[in-house]
Amino acid sequence: MRQDIGPASTPGGGSYVFYSNLTTEYRGPLEFSIDWNVSYATLIAEPDALYYSPAIACSPGVRILFNLTLPETTKSISEYDPIPVLQSNRTLIFALESHYRVGVAFKVSGPLRTVLLNSSRFRFRVPSRYEEMGRRLLGFYENVTEILDEIFNATLTSVNVEFFVPGTLSELSTGGFVPIASAYRLGTIYLNIFYSRTEKGYMEAIAAHELVHHYLATSGISPDVLWFHEGMANYVGIKVSEFSGLGGADLDDDLLQEALALPAGQRAFALAWSISQPVTGYSPYQHYASAFHIVATIAQNMSSPNDEILTGQAFFIDLFTNIRRTSQKITENDQLAWIMYATANFSRKAFVMLTSLGLRVRPMLIGGQNLSDYPTSIGLMATYFLYPLLEGPLNSAMEAALSQDATAALILASEANDLLAHFDTSLLVFLLLLGAALVSGRQRGEEISPPPPPSA
């Protein structure tokens, strides 16, 4: 089953690779014709092909006839917008007013000729006509993998990458996607060649976004924790594209502005986002923006003087080191919140920050004050036995304390965790006391037992 995990945003303002502006002033009545030929106006990866025009604008009341002739290899037209006023074979005529873009998705005949670009980690198969773009992105991937290896405490090998051309106009918004092979293994990275037309650095930020998904899965983060997958993919992807010198096309500003347009209390909706079910009432871009805002807030609060490339870098390095060292598979928000809290050395600042974002730091998860100090086998069994009994009351008590005083909630969480961390000692003491009580009770019972009845 193919799942899309990728940005759904549209290009922002700035210096574009594809677009340039032609402005003409005139007095009517006047009729004139403009013909132009530009690279990437029509994108083709047989059998899929897409034409998407630049924005065409004119004064109100002016009528434009837009003539489009498709390639000779055209087999069929799948979709167009707007509806043409005339269609004859491969020629479409559109009547435009004011401001519009013309889009046509169609099918072409002929073989797809590709080039395989290999490097130490990547196999990038691209249509021959886009080889230059493929080499540019392959070089970008090679440049950023060293820092990504460090952040995620993982090394990727044999990653497959391909370009795709949108088969429908609705697919234009998908910058890229990665099919999910399993919870912790992703498939080929597919990048939308349409975004070669956008602002410098935008295509690289999308490519980095999809690569980060691979690092997250390899590190043990399930796509079930979708807000973290998408938030990290955008946050780290944008930052490493900026680090490479290409810039992030101001994507971080766009995402933050979108998130901040929502009331503060609503941004936590992204925590309930799942692959199969987005949160109703919010747009796709609001999902990505809110997830980005949560991750960026965590990074800002956990920043360190040791951060070199992105804010929160040292914290994320420690976080993924802890996840890898403890062989944890993160499948739910509570697990992730707890290991973040532990990575921050159970600090009050981390506790207040995580809970303010809507993440619940559960006191009843296995682990000591240090992630490497796990209970003994006796304590571990006792922990698993007590966990179902005590989780509900302790969580209720902590949440009640949180509503009154964050410090009190923190103390309760630490004490509950300390109980579990040292429960092996507590259990032995309890068993000794229980044994002593039983022995004492038996002795007292023997002393006061009535005499046997007389024999007949």
Can you say whether the dihedral through the CA atoms of 89, 91, 92, 95 is positive or negative? negative
Amino acid type, 298? I
Phi, psi of 116, deg, nearest 5: -100, 115
- pLDDT by residue for the chain (456 residues), tens only, comes to 333 444 433 333 444 445 566 677 777 666 767 776 667 789 999 999 999 988 887 777 777 888 899 999 999 999 999 999 999 889 999 988 777 889 999 999 999 999 999 998 999 999 999 999 999 999 999 999 999 999 999 999 899 999 999 999 999 989 999 988 766 778 999 999 999 888 778 899 999 999 999 999 999 999 999 999 999 999 999 999 888 776 655 788 889 999 999 998 899 999 999 988 899 999 999 999 999 999 999 999 999 999 999 999 999 999 999 998 888 889 999 889 989 988 998 788 898 899 999 998 865 444 333 334 444 444 455 455 555 566 667 666 666 665 566 556 556 665 666 665 555 555 555 566 566 666 665 555 555 444 455 544
Q: Report pLDDT for 298.
A: 97
For 3, 273, 322, 385, 423, the CA distances from 276, given in Å and listed in that order, are 9, 9, 29, 33, 40
Q: Report pLDDT for 404.
A: 62
- CA dist 311 and 235 (Å) reads 10
Q: Report pLDDT for 244.
A: 79
Structure tokens at 276: 């199969």
- CA dist 97 and 153 (Å) reads 54
Amino acid type, 103? G
| DSSP per-residue string spanning 14-82 | S-BSS---------SS---------TTSEEEETTEEEEEPPPEE--TT-EEEEEEE--TTEEEEEEEES
270 SS3 class: helix
Count of Cβ atoms closer than 10 Å to residue 41 Cβ:
15
- CA dist 274 and 2 (Å) reads 15
Closest CA to 180 of 223, 220, 218, 209: 223
- CA dist 126 and 17 (Å) reads 20
**Angle 2-123-130 from CA coordinates, rounded to 5°:** 90
Closest CA to 176 of 204, 142, 148, 138: 204
Structure tokens at 413: 């969480």
The separation between CA 447 and the C-alpha centre of its own chain, rounded to angstroms, equals 71
For 317, 324, 414, the CA distances from 153, given in Å and listed in that order, are 7, 8, 28
- CA dist 272 and 360 (Å) reads 13
Count of Cβ atoms closer than 10 Å to residue 338 Cβ:
24
Q: Report pLDDT for 403.
A: 59
Q: Report pLDDT for 267.
A: 92
- CA dist 42 and 49 (Å) reads 7
Enumerate the H helices of 126-225 as residue ranges: 131-152, 202-219
The separation between CA 383 and the C-alpha centre of its own chain, rounded to angstroms, equals 33
- CA dist 207 and 160 (Å) reads 12
110 SS3 class: coil
User: Which residues, including other chains, have CB under 8 Å from residue 115's CB and lie 6 or more apart?
Assistant: 125, 126, 127, 128, 131, 134
* pTM confidence score: 0.76
Q: Report pLDDT for 257.
A: 93
Closest CA to 420 of 384, 389, 396: 384
